[in-house]
Amino acid sequence: MAGFIVDFVETLAPVIPWGESIASSVEVAGRAKDVFEGVKIGIIIVDFYRFDSITTSASEYAIALNQMGCNVDIICNNLSGIAAEFLKPRDEFDPQEYDLLFYHYYIGDPLITVVSACSVPKICFFHGVTTPAESYLPYSPELYQICDNGLNSLDELCKFDLVVSAATINVLQVQAASPCEFKGFPYKIIPPIVSLSRFEGTRTEPNSPQVNVITVGRVFSSKNIEGVIKFAYELECRLEKKVSLTIAGSKIEPTYLSSILSVTENQQPASIVISLRPSDTCLQDLYEEADVFATFSHHEGFCIPLVESMAAELLVVSHNVAALPETMKGTGIMVDGYDYKQAADGVAVALGDDFLMTRLVGEQKAHYLNVYSEKVVVTKIIQMFESFICDHLS
C-alpha cells in the first residue's frame, strides 16, 4: 500500500505538486484506517487539467482517501497528458465497479443523470453554479448555456445520499431548485481544499514605493475583473502612492479582457499586469509581493484564492455577494455589493494605520488556521467519509 500511495502523489505532481503535504496532513490527523481499507471510490469530475480549482479539489481528496487505504479512481475528460491506471475516461465509466461514488458538480453535465440514477452509495460535492448564468454573456455564450443547464438540473442532487458543499449559500441554491425533495435532506459544509500551507507567511514586509493589489482566478466575465480595476483606481485616488494591479488568471476570455481594459482606460490604476497560467511557485511569489487581495465576483461558491491570501497574510477586501462573506466570516474588509468606493475607503484607512492593518491581517490568519488549515480540513474530510462508509457500506 505504501508504494501505491507514493506513486499516487508523484503521478499527480504535474497538477498538484504539493501532494506530499496532503499525505503528511493525513498522517498528522491520526485517524484510524480500518474502515477505509479496500473501499473502492470513484471521484467524478468533468475535466481534468492544471490551474483548475475543481481538478485541484478532486486530486487533493483523492490523495487523502488513498492515503487512508481506499482504492481511488478519478473519472474525467482531458487527462492532461498524464498516464495512470487511476485516471479513467468518462466514456468508460461503470458505476457498478465502485463501492462509493463522489461526484463533483458545478456546471451542466449530462452524466449527472447516470450518476444520480445508479444504486451505488453516492455523495455529491456541489461547488455552486454561477448565477445568474447571464453573467457570462456576451463573451462566452456557450458557458451561459452550460451554466443554465446546470441550474436546471439541480433537482437531480436530491437523488444523492449526501450533498457536500463549501458554503451554506450553495446548499440553499440546491434546496430552492426543488424545495419539497430537499426538505430535511442531509448535507455537510466542508472546504473544497486540503493544503494551503505552502502560502503561509510568504508575504514580506512592504518596501515598494507603490501599493500592490492582486486578484487571482479565471479572467472571465463572472469574476467581474472590471470591478477590481475600478477598486484599484479608487484606491489610488485616496493614496499618495501609485497602485499596481496584478491580474493572475488560469484561463481567459480574450474578448472580455480586451473589452474591460478599453472601457475602463480612463479609470485605471497606475499599472495593470496580466499574469496568465502562473505556476504554483510563481503564484507564491505574486502573493509575496502583494499588499492587498481583492475580489468582487458576481458569484463564488467558495473562492480558494481568498483563503490563499489569508494564509499569505495579505489584507483581503471583498463584498457581501454569494459565498464570499461566509468564507471570510467577519474578517478582512467586507463591503456592500459592488461598492468599490467603500472598499477603497476601508483599504486606504488600513494602509495608513499599522495597528489596524496588523489586527485585520491577524484576524484573517487566525480564521484561516482555525477553519482552513490542513489538519482541520483533512480531519473533517476523513470524518465525513468514515461516517458515510459506516452508514452505507456496512
Provide the grid cell at 329.
Answer: 466570516
Per-residue pLDDT at 78:
81
> Does this chain's domain 2-194+373-392 share its CATH topology with 197-371?
yes
Contact 159, 86 (CB under 8 A): no
**β-pair type (71-77, 87-89):** parallel
Is the domain defined by 2-194+373-392 classed in CATH 1.25.40? Answer: no
Q: How far apart are CA 361 and CA 314, in angstroms?
A: 7
Of the candidates 294, 296, 291, 293, which has an alpha carbon nearest to the alpha carbon of residue 339? 296
Contact 304, 198 (CB under 8 A): no
Q: How far apart are CA 53 and CA 303, in angstroms?
A: 9
Q: How far apart are CA 125 and CA 122, in angstroms?
A: 10
Per-residue pLDDT at 1:
46
pTM (2 d.p.): 0.93
Angle of CA points 261, 264, 268, to nearest 5°: 90
Q: How far apart are CA 56 and CA 72, in angstroms?
A: 15
Per-residue pLDDT at 204:
64
Q: How far apart are CA 77 and CA 67, in angstroms?
A: 24
Show me where the domains of the chain are located. 2-194+373-392, 197-371
Contact 296, 228 (CB under 8 A): yes
* CATH of the domain spanning 197-371, picked from 3.40.50.880, 3.40.50.2000, 3.30.300.130, 3.30.565.10: 3.40.50.2000
Contact 44, 3 (CB under 8 A): no
Q: How far apart are CA 283 and CA 261, in angstroms?
A: 23
How confident is the prediction along the chain (394 residues), in pLDDT tens digits per residue? 455 566 889 999 988 999 999 988 898 777 788 999 999 999 999 999 887 889 999 999 999 999 999 999 999 998 778 888 999 999 999 999 999 999 999 988 999 999 999 999 999 999 998 877 888 888 888 888 988 999 999 999 999 999 999 999 999 888 888 777 777 789 999 999 889 999 997 666 666 789 999 999 989 999 999 999 999 999 999 999 999 999 998 888 888 888 888 766 677 888 999 998 898 899 999 999 999 999 999 999 999 999 999 999 999 999 999 999 999 999 999 999 999 999 999 999 999 999 999 999 999 999 999 999 999 999 999 999 999 999 999 7
Residue 41's SS3 state is strand
Omega of the bond prior to 278 within 30 degrees of 0, cis? no
